[in-house]
Structure 1
Amino acid sequence: MNYKLVKISFASSSILLALGLGVFYIRRVFYRKRQTQNKNKIILHYFYDSTNKSPSRSLDLIRLETWLKFAGITYELKIPKSRFYSISNSPFISINENILTDPDDSITYLAKILGKDLSDGLNHIEKSISRGFFYMFIEIAIQDLKALDDFLRNKEFMFGSNVCAEDAFLFGVISQFVCFDESEIGFYLREKCFNILRFYENVKSIYWKEWDNRINLS
């Protein structure tokens, strides 16, 4: 038997085995890294409907994005561009293989798993006030806008200098009136409600720095 040949063959096998184990280890490290990076990765999906005034005509999309920005949550935006639009094309969020289609449920779920409850600091009175404004927008009238405008007087946000989930909803609603509503109510808001407009511009300037880049100027 040629012991020298056997020795060389054994050495070659050892090298190949070591290389194989090395490749396996590297792949495993990269796989774990990708798994870690993808954990809690948030993708916000929506049908593209940008206008020359707003990134979207959808209250739900503006509200969801504003809340994510308020919470400091990184997200990926997937909006396939199309010239067709339907109100049924509602935004939805995907995270960890979960699909969240309702904006209220989305915010509640994300706030819980990510520890981002922006309304946690509100007291019972403030929460009652926020619920009142929420229901007010179901059938809003000019006197309601006046009440909201007075409420926002000398306030940076709804309840002081810190944003809450209710601010995201309010911004979404106001954006619809400012950008799209041509009724008497929309006209009144744009011409008379300076505190509401200040709130709107304040949120835009702080949290929506890409607003102008997202609108469709064509």
Structure 2
Amino acid sequence: MEQLRSAWTNYPYCVTGVLTVPVAYVLFRKYCGSQKQPRIECQPNTVLLHQMTRGPYAPSLSNFSVKLETYLRMAGIPYINDLSGQFSPKGKTPFITYNGEDVSDTHFIIEYLNKKLNINLNKDLNQEQLAFAKAFQVLADEYLYWILVYSRWVYDKNLTIIKMGLPGSPCLIWKLKKTMVRRVIGQGMGVHSAEEIKRIFLADLQALSDFLGNKQFLMGSTPCEVDCSVFGLLSQFIWQAVDDLCGNVIQEKFPALNEYCLRMRERFWPDWDDCITHGGTRPAIK
């Protein structure tokens, strides 16, 4: 039991963006117990961002964690990280604590902070643009996400990225894999062949690329909320996809999307190299 708890504490990547939160939470409670980590204290009016430890080649293996942290940087909201892998009272991760109040789910977190701090990153968008932005956010958060899960847990038989997150815990990885295969099939993506999923993946990326066109950011010259979702998701495919289903696809076939992600990284993550473990070769500095 203690070994499993230690493995989860040090390498807790099997959550949102790698594994759906409810499943991860149940398995965590079942195999690792319910012991809570001590809370980190922070200054008033500062967001405490609870998330998993840093990823090997992007700041997290969770696209939702990258999405949320990018939003905090884009909005200029003061925050500090809690990388202990805590779950919220609702069993969610990432989540935030703001002035003693816990808020879960990236959608509700962003909505909460926008209202609380009077932030509107979409203020320059008209109603039609807001509709397009919502559609592409759903594409990233609710659809392409499952291709990411499929590629990591089903297609990559070696579970390469997963093992970077959970070394030394083959029993836990095996149990999570069985669960994730069932989840991907239940969601619907997993009933397709790898060839069919690749066609879906390419078509969705083409739609994103066509809409981006020559714009600096998805909706124009100024980044907005949807860029947080799209960048969070695409960052996983560009920097943390090692299989031949998703790996290098964006770099080789969609240069506009690749350059877009590089712009996002340069603008909002100048400390990127300090926020990754460089393939697990050294701890992240931040």
TM over 0.5: same fold?
yes
Larger radius of gyration: 1
Residues 150 and 195 in structure 1, CA contact (< 8 A), matched pair in contact too: no
TM-score, structure 1 as length reference:
0.74
- Give me the whole-angstrom Cα distance separating, in 2, the residues matched to 1:56 and 1:89: 16
- Residue range with higher mean Cα deviation, 91-100 or 186-195: 186-195
Match of 1:84 in 2: none
Confirm or deny: 8 A CA contact 1:93 1:106 kept in the other structure: yes
CA contact (8 A) 2:54 2:276 kept: no
Is residue 47–residue 98 contact of structure 2 (8 Å, CA) maintained in 1? Answer: yes
The question of 1:115 aligning with 2:118 is answered: yes
Paired with 2:135 and 2:107, the residues of 1 have a C-alpha distance of: 16
The unaligned stretches of length 5 or more in structure 1 are 1-36, 82-87
- Candidates 190, 198, 202, aligned match of 2:251: 190
1 CA distance for matches of 2:127 and 2:244? 35
1:68 is aligned to 72
Q: Which AA in structure 2 matches 1:40?
A: N
2:268 is aligned to: 207
Q: Is the 8 A contact 2:136 2:226 kept in 1?
A: no
Q: Supply the RMSD in Å over aligned alpha carbons.
A: 2.0
Could you tell me which of 120, 125, 146 is aligned with 2:128? 125
Normalised TM-score (structure 2): 0.57
CA distance in structure 1 between the partners assigned to 2:52 and 2:230 by the alignment: 22
Q: How does 1:55-94 map to 2 (within 5 A)?
A: 55-80=59-84, 90-94=93-97
How far does residue 183 in structure 1 lie from its aligned partner after superposition? 4.6
Aligned equivalents of 2:239 and 2:254: distance in 1? Answer: 14
Deviation of 1:186 (Å): 4.1
Partners of 2:68 and 2:106 within 8 A in 1 = yes
Instruction: Give the secondary structure class of the aligned counterpart of 1:40.
Output: coil
Instruction: Note the alpha carbon deviations across 1:51-100, whole angstroms, 9 max, x for none.
Output: 1x11210111100000011101111112138xxxxxx8721100011101
Look up the match of 2:217.
Answer: 157
Q: Does the aligned pair in 2 maintain the 1:46–1:78 contact within 8 Å?
A: yes
Secondary structure of the residue that 1:130 maps to in structure 2? helix
> How many corresponding residue pairs?
175
Return 5+ residue gaps in structure 2 as ranges.
1-41, 86-90, 145-199, 282-286
